[in-house]
Each structure stands twice: as C-alpha cells, then as structure tokens.
Chains A and B, each alone.
Chain A
C-alpha cells in the first residue's frame, strides 16, 4: 500500500511541476493579446476533444435503446439543466446498473 502511494507521488510530481509552470506563465503573460488568442483557439479544440472522447465511447455502446436513455438523461440533467451531479448520478446509476445486471442495457 505504501509503495503504491509513493509510486503515485512520483507519478504526479513531474506533471504537477509542468502544470504549475504553465499556470505561472499564464498568470504572467495571459493578458498579452497573442497569448490570449492562442488560448482561445486551444479552448475551442479542447471542447472538441471532449466531444470526440464521448463520441468514441458511443460507438462501443450496444445497439439498444435503454443505454441511450441514460446518456440523454444524464446530459439533460447535468449539462443542460445544471442539476447537481450527486442528484442526477445518484438517481440514474442504480437504475443503469440494475438494467445492465438484468441484461437489458
């Protein structure tokens, strides 16, 4: 267990140093028009990457209607209506797991 946690710390140290350097540079130079413009372009791409990740997962979804109900319900609840994550996932997850346990989803 202790080995696992020191491995975790080692695994995080370098990325943490990199990310804080980026954050520091962002704070120093983020207001410069050229940096701001670059970040604007990157942000548009970052959102596209999220959509692509989710779309890839859609492909492996089984061709049944019930999983789609859970995809749409989660999206509408958390994304569109901005309801609390806990409420939405707390209600949907047991049904989703039960449905897949019974072999319907």
Chain B
C-alpha cells in the first residue's frame, strides 16, 4: 500500500467516524464496502475473521479497526486508522455532551436521537447481513448464530461466554 492510499483510507475512516450514528457496528457495512468490495485490500473472510477476533478483546468496540489497518498497512496502518476513527467521533461526543449538559431537554436533540435510532438499527442489521455469508459456510453456522441471538436475548449471560462457547463448538468440529 502506498502512502497516498493510506492517507485516503484514514480520511475515509475519519469521515465515517463523524457520521457513525449508533457507534462502531453501524459503519461496519461501509468499511466492508471500502476495504473489500471497492479496494480489495482483503477478502470478505479475512474481514469477518478480524472483526470476530476483536470481539473477544476487552475495551471499546472500535478495536476491530486497527486490525484492519494493520492488515492493510502494518503498524503505521494500525495506529493511523485507530486515531482516524476515534478522534473525530470523540471530539463530536465532547461537543454534544457539552450541549446536552447545557440544554438537557432541548427538543431538537431529543428529536435527533429518537429519529436516528431506526437508522442505527437498520445499519446494525446490515452489518450482520454483510458478515453472514463470509462467516457461515453451511446451515450449522446459521444455527449457531440463531442460538446466540436467543441466548443473548433471553438470558443475562455475558456475551464473552457465548463467544467462548462458539470457539469450543468450532474446535469440536460442530460448525
């Protein structure tokens, strides 16, 4: 990857970070479009694996981004992409938090949050939709995905244990 490409990638991630309504999972489909479909920096399987790998790590859920950056452009890529996605949304959050503290009941703020929620939901479902074919090669994978949804919705089990269970199921050759 050339420097201009890395700068292009970082600028793109920065822009997405400003627009990430609903946080990190909501920009996943667009990142997939950019790094897999448009630029072919990695395969869709690699994309899905790196994303899943990041789910077992503690910390904020944007941590899949430096893995993409690392894959594409090494250490510099990891650091550069992390800052590209974190700094804009963090600054925006600071500004909004300040506004919110000053006008907690501002009607427009409430309307904006409430109005964007359905879009966020659509984006997160899109993330799942984009990852599904890369992740599940046959029906057993889909069963495991469905089971996960059921367990997370119905119980208070920490998702990390479901991930561990998924890893165990994989090692046992079930999926």
Which single member of A12, A42, A101 contacts B52 (CB below 8 Å)?
A: A42
Q: How distant is the Cα of A61 from the Cα of B124 in the complex, in angstroms?
A: 15
Q: How distant is the Cα of A92 from the Cα of B27 in the complex, in angstroms?
A: 15
Q: How distant is the Cα of A74 from the Cα of B56 in the complex, in angstroms?
A: 28
* B63/A15 in contact, CB under 8 A: yes
Chain A residue numbers with a CB within 8 Å of B167 are 38-39, 41-42
CB within 8 Å: A-B pair count: 264
Q: Which bucket holds chain A's interface residue count?
A: 35 or more
Known contacts A15-B60, A42-B55; A78 and B122 CB within 8 A of each other: yes
* A67/B19 in contact, CB under 8 A: no
* B159/A22 in contact, CB under 8 A: no
Residues A19-77 near B (CB distance < 8 A): 19-20, 22-23, 26, 30, 34, 37-58, 60-61, 67-75, 77
Give the A-binding residues of B (Cβ under 8 A).
15-16, 19, 21, 25, 27, 29-30, 33, 37, 48-60, 63-64, 66-67, 70-71, 78, 82, 86-87, 90, 94, 107-108, 111-112, 114-132, 134-137, 141-142, 144-149, 152-153, 159, 162-163, 165-171, 173-175
Given contacts A47-B148, A82-B29, 13 further A-B contacts (CB under 8 A): A16-B59, A22-B67, A40-B135, A40-B170, A41-B165, A41-B169, A42-B166, A48-B147, A52-B148, A54-B121, A74-B123, A85-B16, A85-B123
Report the 6 A-B pairs with minimum CB-CB distance, sorted nearest first: A41-B170, A74-B122, A15-B59, A48-B148, A79-B126, A45-B166
Give the B-binding residues of A (Cβ under 8 A).
1, 4-5, 8, 11-12, 14-16, 18-20, 22-23, 26, 30, 34, 37-58, 60-61, 67-75, 77-80, 82, 84-86, 89, 92-93, 96-101, 105
